[in-house]
Amino acid sequence: MAQSTPAVATLIAALLISASAHGQGSEQVAPSRIFEALALRDGVTVCEMGAGDGELSIAAAARVGSRGHVYTNELSGRVEALRAKVAAAHRPQIEVVVGAADRTNFPDGACDALFMRNVYHHFAAPGPMGAALAGALKPGGRLAIVDFKPDGTEARTPEDRDEDATHGVTPESVQRELLDAGFRIDGTENGGGRSFMVLATRVR
C-alpha cells in the first residue's frame, strides 16, 4: 500500500477536523434512531428538510415502503443533484420539492413525521420556519431535529448561527423556538460529541 505524502496527510487531517467541528463526523445521532423516534413504518408519509444528497430520504423510503411517501427538499441550487440521486435510487415514492429559506413548500398537513439533520442552525428566521414546519405536519405529527452545539458561545441572533465562530445551535434554543411555533417538546437526546436530537409533536 502506497504511503500518503505529507501534503495529502495534512489535507486528510484537515477534512476530518472540519467534519468533526461541524457535527458531521462519526459522533452523530444514527439514522436508525431518528427513524425509530419518529415511529416510521410501512405506509406513513415522512418529510425531510434540506436533504443534501438524499441519503436519509432514500433510507426513509425503505422504511415506509411502497405504500408510504417521502417528500424531500433542497434549495434551488442543490435540488437537481438531489433529483438525480433519487432517480438513481429507483424509489418512486420519493417526491423532491424545491425548498425556501422560510418555508418547507411541502403540502399542508401532508407529513406524519418530519426530520432534518444539521439544517436547523441555518434558519435565519426560525419563527416563520417553525410555523411552516407545523403547517406541513398533520395534527399529532412528530418532528425530529438533529443538529450540533456551537464549539463555544452560541450566536446572539439566528442569522449568525452558521458563522465559523458560533457555528451551531443549542438544544435549548431549538426547544424554545419550537414551543413558540406551537409544538410540544417530547425530549432531547445526545448523539455523542456536540450532536443532539430534539423531538417534538405538533399540538396546534
List the domain boundaries for the chain. Answer: 28-202
Whole-angstrom distance, CA of residue 121 vs CA of residue 65: 30
pLDDT, residue 28, reads 84
> pTM, whole model, 2 decimals?
0.86
**Gap between the terminal Cα atoms of the chain:** 59
The 183-192 sheet, strands edge to edge: 94-98, 69-74, 45-49, 111-117, 137-148, 195-202, 183-192
Fold of the domain built from segment(s) 28-202: Rossmann fold (3.40.50)
β-bridge mates for residue 118, sequence order = none
Whole-angstrom distance, CA of residue 175 vs CA of residue 23: 19
The answer on pLDDT for 18 being more than 90 is no
The answer on pLDDT for 23 being more than 80 is no
| Rounded average pLDDT over 68-81 | 96
Residue type, 168: G
pLDDT, residue 27, reads 64
Question: In the chain, pLDDT over 90 holds for what percent of residues?
Answer: 84
| Rounded average pLDDT over 59-84 | 97
CB-CB neighbours of 120 under 10 Å: 26
